[in-house]
A and B are shown apart, each in its own frame.
With several copies, the nearest count.
Chain A
Amino acid sequence: MELKYIRSIYRFLRDTDIEEIEIEGKEGRIRIKRALSQGQVVSAVEEKKAVEREEEPEQRESRGKNIKVITSPMVGTFYRAPSPEAPPFVEIGSVVKQGQVLCIIEAMKIMNEVESEYGGRVVSILVENGQPVEYGEPLFHIEVGAG
């Protein structure tokens, strides 16, 4: 095997985050191992949490289509309607415009309306009415442009 060939492979590797590569030849076999960002060398606990919090099926799925996530802008209690008697702002399948109110987050007795950042169709509602939500918690999935 010529050094020239190895060198050319290495030149390619240099600008990547590839940590390990195996090649076999005659058009068979290749194995690439990447060193992903430092955040991923994290502890099992972290990984577990990451899975719990971020790798929810809905979200993973959402990456495929043009689906956006609306997250909570604050800590508070999630309400789907302006009052217990009123109908919910939106349901699954509702078509919403950008700026349309999706829900209310109550924080310190103040009702904060959460508006949609996108126009599209509500494909999932991720929190039950009346449940506490934390900052950044996903609330809705909107399929952008749909409807």
Chain B
Amino acid sequence: MFNKILIANRGEIAVRIIRACKEMGIKSVAVYSEADRYALHTRLADGAICIGPAKATESYLNISSLISAIEVIDAEAVHPGYGFLAESHAFAEVCEKCGIKFIGPTSEVMRLMGNKIQAKKEAEKVRIPVLPWSNRGLSDEKDAIEVSKKIGFPVLIKAASGGGGRGMKLVHTQASLANAFNMAKMESLSAFGDGEVFIERYCELPRHIEIQIVADEHGNVIHLGERECSIQRRHQKIIEESPSPVVDERLRDRMGEAAIKLAKAIGYTNVGTVEFLMDRERNFYFMEMNTRIQVEHPVTEMVTGIDLVKEQIRIATGERLNIRQKDVRFKGHCIECRVNAEDPKTFVPSPGRIKELCLPGGPGVRVDTAIYCNYTIPSYYDNLIAKVIVHADTRIDAIHRMIRALDEFHIEGVKTNIPLLVRILKDHDFIAGNIDIDFLSRFS
């Protein structure tokens, strides 16, 4: 087991990792920017080291600062969390070269899955369904028009290095294709430093359903079921749950097997998520793979009883999985709501000092957060301030419990999206499980 781990992140996920380390008897060292001197992760870790100024590019995204910090504090491993450098194969590669264990898959696998075109090709190789697509990166408009005609409109233009909806364009007619194609290329180049795009068929009103996998370094891979993450705002998930209202045991097995097949084919190690789109006929199509812990990982932890962050650390030390697929049990229903510091109507971020705080508690409620009363939320980073996670026997019980928990969540000094979350939870379609990724854009 590791003696000391550096946590290359901040906020609730850094706190989450510190908690796992403490319970495992591993020393944790936090890194912080000058803006995070009084942040909870800085306070809770066994040690903390300032790595740069507030701006993320000069601190949490600064690879040489992080490596240097790891070296001076003499940590054996680094946990990247999610966001920041969590999917940077460059960072993982530097760690590998410096003899630091990066808690995640290899840099090679990260590079492969980081490119959506490569990832789709890998999925096709093992016959996982994908939406009809261009099968390659597209160089010019003509090429794009030819391909789109074959696929059939509407089509979606996507960035090869994409994520978070940037560089993505929906095109309904041939007339608007050329324009959209060039815009997507430009956006993609400026966002990811890579202008490569591809085209795939647009799926109407799909659900976003993902499979959690866990793979050790000895070739054992299991899946921990699905998470339904269709409630999104501009490609940012805000409510996640497990099980999905539309996935039964058989479908779960099929999706899980597909995810495992892909993971095995590419030599995946550590935890990861295979994302699928699902159409109204419950056909699922591989979308991409996230090579890190997800924001919504607690949803899976609550229904399976498996601590994913501890699994990550154990796997990284070379341990074998001690759970077999047939031992995985799914119990009850779990929902997670992401509480953001933002105006619930305009979605303008709302950083500032928290003057009053009362977090929800009691049975079946878990809160993962890095805020506290009198803490000032800095304006430099993400506006996720807390994840409220509830577990109950059934989906409707979980919904009632979540409404109760959000009702208790009392915060003064910053605005949050809690009123929006509560309205969604009370919505007739949401309660009936009639959701898709455009649910929120229709929601008034």
A and B touch in the complex (CB under 8 A): yes
Nearest neighbor of A53 in chain B, beta-carbon distance: B37
Q: How far is the CA of A42 from the CA of B410 in the complex (A)?
A: 14
Residues of B within 8 A of A49 (CB): 37-38
- B residues near A42, Cβ cutoff 8 Å: 38, 374
Q: Which residues of B contact A45 (CB under 8 A)?
A: 38, 43, 356, 410
Q: Decide: A135 near B51, CB < 8 A? Known: A45-B43, A108-B71.
A: yes
A137 CB contacts on chain B under 8 angstroms:
50
CB of A38 within 8 A of CB of B65, answer: no
When distances are taken between beta carbons in the complex, the residues of chain B under 8 Å from A136 are 34, 50, 53
* CA of A31 to CA of B116, assembled, Å: 62
Assess whether A135 is in contact with B410, with CB atoms less than 8 Å apart. no
CB pair A41–B37 under 8 Å, yes or no, is no
Bound-state CA distance A104–B64 (Å) is 16
* A91 beta carbon closer than 8 Å to chain B: no
User: Is the CB–CB distance between A43 and B68 below 8 Å?
Assistant: no
> Which chain A residues lie closer than 8 Å to B372 at the CB level?
43
- A107 and B68 within 8 A (CB): yes
Tell me whether A38 and B376 are in contact (CB under 8 A): yes
Who on chain A is nearest to B37 by CB? A49
List B contacts of A74 (CB < 8 A): 52, 64-65, 68
Q: Quick one: CB contact mask for A28-47 with B, threshold 8 Å, 1 for yes?
A: 00000000001111111110
Tally of A interface residues using CB under 8 Å: 23
Chain B residues near A77: list those with CB within 8 A: 71-72
Assembly CA distance A44 to B49 (angstroms): 20
Interface size class of B (residues with CB under 8 A): 20 to 34
By the criterion CB–CB under 8 Å, are A39 and B376 in contact?
A: yes
Q: Does B355 contact A (CB under 8 A)?
A: yes
A100 to B38, CA, bound (A): 34
Which residues of B (121-172) have their CB < 8 Å from a CB of A?
Answer: none
Which residue of B is nearest A131, CB measured?
A: B72
Instruction: State how many angstroms separate the Cβ of B84 from the closest Cβ of chain A.
Output: 16
- Tell me, yes or no, whether B69 is within 8 Å of chain A by CB: yes
Q: Is A107 a contact of B64 with CB atoms below 8 Å?
A: yes
Task: Decide if B356 touches A44 in the complex (CB within 8 Å).
Answer: yes
Q: How far is the CB of B45 from chain A (nearest CB, A)?
A: 13
- A132 at interface by CB-CB < 8 Å: yes
Q: Which of B71, B72, B355 counts the most A-chain CB atoms under 10 A from its CB?
A: B72
How far apart are A45's CB and chain B's nearest CB, in angstroms? 6
| A39 CA to B355 CA, complexed, in Å | 10
Min CB gap A71→B, angstroms? 10
Q: Which residue of chain B has its CB nearest to the CB of A133?
A: B72
Interface string of A48-69 (1 = CB under 8 A from B): 0100010000000000000000
The distance in angstroms between the C-alpha atoms of A135 and B71, with both chains bound, is 14
Decide yes or no whether B323 CB sits under 8 A from chain A. no
Q: Is A81 an interface residue (CB 8 A)?
A: no
22 A-B pairs within 8 Å (CB atoms) are namely A38-B353, A39-B376, A42-B38, A43-B356, A43-B374, A45-B38, A45-B43, A53-B37, A74-B68, A75-B69, A76-B68, A76-B72, A107-B64, A107-B67, A107-B68, A107-B71, A108-B64, A132-B49, A133-B72, A134-B69, A135-B52, A135-B59
- Which A positions have Cβ atoms within 8 angstroms of B? 38-46, 49, 53, 74-77, 107-108, 132-137
